Structure 1
Amino acid sequence: MTDCGIWLVRPESEALALTLQQQLSGDLYRPWLDTATTQKQQFAAAYRKHKQWIMIAASGIAVRFLDGLAQDKHSDPAVVVLDEAGRYAVSLLAGHEGGANRLAYRVANAIGAVPVITTATEALKPLVVGIGCRKGVTAGQIAAAVHQALGGRQLNKVREIATIDLKANEPGLVEFCEQHDLPLRVLASATVVARPWVTKASDWVQQNVGLPGVCEPCALIASTRGKLIVPKMALNGVAVAVVEDAL
């Protein structure tokens, strides 16, 4: 049994659940196969068997299933709710302490959904940092470029790092995010192509990535009400842009 359970409410979610299982691993639950008990009863019996849950269901169903089960944010399993269309991954329970916020990012990155985080610890951080980088850059190179772009702003004010899918597994970028406990938001290249918001297009990026730019559009797309406060700054193979939430 893995740390993560994937709960399907309907057979129609099977393909989405299998994609998640392939990307993230996890045990699939198909409660409709057991006609002796209700889904709510089955979920209650399985609730403590995993440290994390991904529920492919409406949020209302998830809330009803969780009724009476949650006890303490330090011990409750993390619960992320994903709609059946795979559009939004909502951190519902044990967001910060239990890891549901990070799980929401992992789910979102795996299928191209939008992570929804509502805990004040993360939601009140006003900055999103967009990053584009050349292959093989180190975590140290990324850190130097990010600190240059932030200027006097503190890294603990950054809500998330945003990049494109081509860089989702770039070792230096992943290491930097892990070192500084920053969630990595991965955007599909097709999404960035549709909104190529750049102050100055890059011939190198266009030739090698097929986009006019990476860091600026990624940061702006990730922050729906943000304003570009630091246009693209490049340092040693790393390009960084900073967006701040508008009041």
Structure 2
Amino acid sequence: MSNSKTAIYALTAKGADLARKIALATGADSFVLKRYAEESDIPFAGFTSLISNNFSVYDSHIFIMASGIVVRAIATHLKSKDSDPAVVVLDQEGEFVISLVSGHLGGANELARMIADQIGATAVITTATDCAGVPSIDLLARSNGLVIGDIGIIKHVNAALLDGERVGVYDPEFFIDLNDFDEFFYRVSSVEDLTDLRCSVCVDWRVHSLPERVLKLYPKCLRLGVGCRRGVPAEEINALVIAILTEQRIAGQSIASMGTIDAKNDEVGMLEFARQMNFKIKFFSADELEEMKGTTPSELVIKHMGVGSVCEAAAMKQSGGNNLIVPKKKSARVTMSLAKDVRIRGA
């Protein structure tokens, strides 16, 4: 299978022609019923089995066929709105492009509009916020690179917006850009100001005790530095990291990456921990880590690694400056530190 993130499916000759036109413009993989397939297509015979194999592989699916066929084919594969791929349906004449599944988070609305522009069709968007012309908080979160805490709370925020209410937002470091949305949101100066509101939004890397209807959005702004002795299992690294995050009331969802010294690039426990947490891991040379000032040097680390600091220096190296929020913490065989990204961004 190719590296394309989008798949197109056609069951008729006319649908196949439209699929090739869209595939040419988007770089998508074009799956066409075998009897209508050409050299540029991927032929198939069994539609149901094809969808079973493809549904979780591609980020977006474009179906040129009746929507009822699509609904029945994808129904058993749908899981949740924060993980389902975008699903768009077209008629074979290319008159309408329907955003069917994952309109916001999956990008189906955006995809439907893009295809409609390309082929001169009408995009059919049914999500309430789009129809009412109000911003959707999940789309705002996505466009600002924020991680959604409890996706179930999105409906409460969007419902308030649809009712014409302005929604309070606590965002002390201005991670979400609301400059064009004064009609819909207002900023509050204290997290306590969110307590008595119908619903509200908290944008922060810190953990707060908040009412149930506060939507928590986490900026990916923290960098984890880790050091460990040889042979330490992933569970031991995880135990220290979770303990410190809990103690310091810091959201793990805000960790964007982790780093360590390049001598650990084959450390099984370290690699497994990064895989389990879905962290991109960055390896730095001793010279690169030695460049970072303001660390707490360790004689033991100097002896074994040739550098005064691993975890603090690796955290700061990723963050772009001396911005430690958690200096070195350690257990028997693991060290960790957290730094916050240096940002040049104002209100």
Question: Partners of 1:173 and 1:166 in 2: how far apart?
Answer: 11
Instruction: State the identity as a percent.
Output: 28
- Does residue 136 in structure 1 map to residue 199 in structure 2? no
Root-mean-square deviation (Å): 3.2
SS in 1 for 2:293: coil
TM-score, length-scaled by structure 2: 0.38
Deviation string for 1:82-128 (max 9, x for gaps)? xxxxxxxxxxxxxxx9xxxxxxxxxxxxxxxxxxxx98258941111
Matched, 1:74 2:70: no
Q: Is the 8 A contact 2:226 2:259 kept in 1?
A: yes
Match of 2:339 among 238, 243, 247: 243
Residue pair 1:198, 1:212 contacting (<8 A) in 2 also: no
Matches within 5 A, 1:46-85: 49-50=2-3, 68-71=25-28, 74=59
Q: In the alignment, is residue 183 of structure 1 matched against residue 300 of structure 2?
A: no
* TM-score, normalisation: structure 1: 0.52
Q: Which residue of structure 1 lines up, in the alignment, with residue 271 of structure 2?
A: 174
- 2-structure distance, mates of 1:238, 1:220: 18
User: Radius of gyration: which is bigger?
Assistant: 2
Q: SS state of the match for residue 68, structure 1? A: helix
* Structure 1 position 75, deviation (Å): 5.0
| Correspondence 1:201 to 2:201 | no
Unaligned runs of 5+ in 2: 6-23, 30-57, 62-105, 107-142, 148-217
List aligned pairs for 1:1-247, cutoff 5 A: 49-50=2-3, 68-71=25-28, 74=59, 120=145, 124-150=219-245, 151-193=248-290, 195-224=291-320, 227-247=323-343
Q: Structure 1 unaligned runs (5+)?
A: 1-47, 53-66, 77-96, 98-117
Shift of the 119–138 alpha-carbon distance from structure 1 to 2, 3 Å rule, reads farther
User: What is the letter of the counterpart of residue 180 of structure 1?
Assistant: M
Q: Distance in 2 between matches of 1:225 and 1:217?
A: 10
* CA offsets 1:145-189 (integer angstroms, 9 cap, x no match): 112332321211110111111112211111111111111111222
Q: Give yes or no for contact 2:320–2:342 (8 Å, CA) kept in 1.
A: no
Is the 1:203–1:212 contact (alpha carbons within 8 Å) kept by the matching residues of 2? yes
The secondary structure found in structure 2 opposite 1:179 is helix
**Does structure 2 conserve the Cα–Cα contact (< 8 Å) formed by 1:196 and 1:211?**
no
Number of residue-to-residue matches in the alignment: 147
Corresponding letter in the other structure for 2:314: C
Contact persistence 2:293–2:322 (CA under 8 A): no
Contact 2:292 2:317 in 1 (8 A): no
The structure with higher relative contact order (CA 8 Å, sep 6+) is: 1
SS in 2 for 1:207: helix
